[in-house]
Amino acid sequence: MSTAEEPTPQTSLATAHTDRTVREEAGNSPADGTEGTGGGEAGPETGREAIIRAARRAFTLRPYAEVTMRGIAAAAGVSPSLIVKRFGSKEALFNTVVDFRPAADELFSAPLDDLGRHLVLTMVDLRDRLRGDPLLRVVFSLGIEDERTLLRARFREQVTDRLAEVLTGPEARLRAELVAGQLLGLGATLSLHRPDGATAHTTAERLADLYAPGIQHLVAGG
């Protein structure tokens, strides 16, 4: 007889489905279930973006050693030679994937007085443009310990530490970590409740109305 603490098969299945959904979102899996450009040697930006999307998903869902350039190419709809031409090696591609600086550049490009609202609106915009979450892979990566450690170190350096340096007032580091957690929580919420949840049918402006004040309170220092 099951206790309240013991998951039922239905609960375990639902949990697995939820976890898979968030992992796919962390890997920037397109919302329509297709990968890449579908045309092989696409335009420079389109091809590069398709490769990065496929690589993010691959490195999030599988350990580094199990990821192949051929598999990424197939997912992106390009040739393996194009990946070599654009990135040079699997290691170089991995280093591009674990770089949070492009997202951080956009997330933190607002004055502190308006940063909370800007963070929410930018997160929603980035998810739409990237067809996935720009931050969640730091939580759901399946890599070996060294890879997860590197990913989290990059996140701390490029996101949390960067924010802590610009915050004013006491406990800047603590507040920066809490803001980063709020952003990860927003991404997870939007992922968990797609495509038919209330958040999926709410405008970015309304999400900011509800979610940004809590973030702005942390930015301002109480």
| pLDDT, tens only, 40-57 | 444 444 688 889 888 888
pTM: 0.72
Backbone torsions φ then ψ of 221, nearest 5 degrees: 90, 20
Spatial CA neighbour of 90 closest among 62, 132, 127, 131: 62
* More confident position, 33 or 130: 130
pLDDT band for position 143 (cuts 50, 70, 90): low
In the block, tokens 């899996």 appear at 29
Q: Tell me what pLDDT residue 7 has.
A: 43
Query: Do 210 and 124 meet the contact criterion of CB atoms below 8 Å apart?
Result: no
Question: Which residues touch 53 (CB under 8 Å, ≥6 apart)?
Answer: 28, 29, 30, 35, 36, 76, 130, 131, 132
Q: Which two tokens stand for residue 131?
A: 């067809």
pLDDT tens for 93-114 read 988 888 999 999 999 999 999 9
Query: Do 25 and 136 meet the contact criterion of CB atoms below 8 Å apart?
Result: yes
pLDDT tens for 180-214 read 999 999 999 999 998 899 998 999 999 999 999 99
Looking at mean pLDDT, say which of 20-29, 63-72, 154-163 comes out highest.
154-163
